[in-house]
Structure 1
Amino acid sequence: MLAKPRLSRALASLAIGLALVVPAAAIEFLNALDDSPIDISPIKGEVFTDAVKSFQETGKNPYVGNPDAIAAGKALYDANCQVCHKPDGSGGMGPSLIDNTYVNKRANTDVGMFEVIHSGAAGAMRPFSKRGVTQDQILQMIAYIHTLKK
C-alpha cells in the first residue's frame, strides 16, 4: 500500500515556510591584506545600530545619501582621514578616494571600503577598529567619501 501524500505535502510546506523565515547568511568581511576573515564584533562600549546590523546582513550602507550621516562622516573624515587623503580626497600620503582607482580593488565597494577602514591595509592605514572608531562611524565616513567622488 502506498503512503498518503499528506505527510510529504506537510514537509514541503514546512520547508518553504522555513526558507521564508530564516534570514540569508550575513556578509563575510575579509582582511584587505590576506583575505582572512575579520572580527566584526563590537569594540568596547559599542552598541550596534540598526544601520550596522543592516550593513552586516546586506553589505549596503544605509547612510549613503543621508545628509545627517554625511555631515557626521565629514567631521570624522576631517579628524581621521584628511591628513593622508587630503581634505578633498585627492590623495597624498594615502591614495585618492575621489576616483574608482583604488590601491585595494575591493575598496570599489562599500563592503571593501569598510574592510580597509575597519581592519587596515598596506602602508600606514592602521585599523580604525583599534583606534576606537565604531562601525557606525565607519559607515558614516563611507557615506561622506561617496560625496567626494567625481
Structure 2
Amino acid sequence: MSESGKSKGWLVISFGILVLTIVYVVFQPPQNTEVLPRKIDPEVMGALEQSTATETTAGPGRYIDNPDAIAAGKAEYETHCAACHLSDARGAIGPNLRKRLKFGSTPEKIYKSIEKGRPAGMPAFGKQLSNDKISKIIAYIESLR
C-alpha cells in the first residue's frame, strides 16, 4: 500500500471517530434533568443557621481567655510541642511562637499548622490530637503573647 493510501485510511478513521463523538454528544440524554433547586424547608434552614452559629463560637479560638483550657493546653503543649518550640515557646528547631508566625498568627491559621503540618519540618498532628486538644494548645500559645 502506498503512503497516500495509509494517510487516507487514517483520515477516514479520524473522521469516523469525530462523527461518532458528535452523534454521542447530541443524542446522549442529560444526566441531571433537575436544574432548579427545590424549595428549602424552613425547619432545615433554621437548623443550618443554628449549626453555622455554633461552628463560629466553637472555632479554634474558643478557649482563649479560659484558664482551665489554657492549663490543659499547656500540658498538651509540653507533651507535643516543647521539643521543637521549647517550654517557653521561644523557639529552637521550630519558630518562636510568641511572635508573628510565617503561616499566620490567627487561631484558624495556627490550627491549620498544627493539624496539617508545614513544609520544612512541622509535622502534622491532626491524627494524634483531637480538635479540642488543638484548640486548647492554641489558647495556651495565645496566653503567652
8 Å CA contact 2:116–2:124 kept in 1: the answer is yes
For residue 124 of structure 1, give the secondary structure of its aligned residue in structure 2.
Answer: coil
How far apart are residue 20 of structure 1 and its match? Answer: 7.2
Residues 1:126 and 1:68: Cα distance change in structure 2 (over 3 Å): same
8 Å CA contact 2:70–2:136 kept in 1: the answer is yes
Aligned residues: 106
Partner of residue 78, structure 2: 78
Q: Distance in 1 between matches of 2:54 and 2:124?
A: 22
8 Å CA contact 1:63–1:70 kept in 2: the answer is yes
Residues 1:71 and 1:57: Cα distance change in structure 2 (over 3 Å): closer
Note the alpha carbon deviations across 1:32-71, whole angstroms, 9 max, x for none.
xxxxxxxxxxxxxxxxxxxxx9456764522111111111
For residue 23 of structure 1, give the secondary structure of its aligned residue in structure 2.
Answer: helix
Note the alpha carbon deviations across 1:4-40, whole angstroms, 9 max, x for none.
xxxxxxxxxx98x67972535x89xxxxxxxxxxxxx
CA RMSD of aligned residues (A): 3.0
Q: Distance in 2 between matches of 1:60 and 1:81?
A: 17
TM-score (norm 1): 0.59
Q: Which residues of structure 2 form unaligned runs of 5+?
A: 1-38
Are 1:141 and 2:137 an aligned pair? yes
Partner of residue 65, structure 1: 65
TM-score (norm 2): 0.61
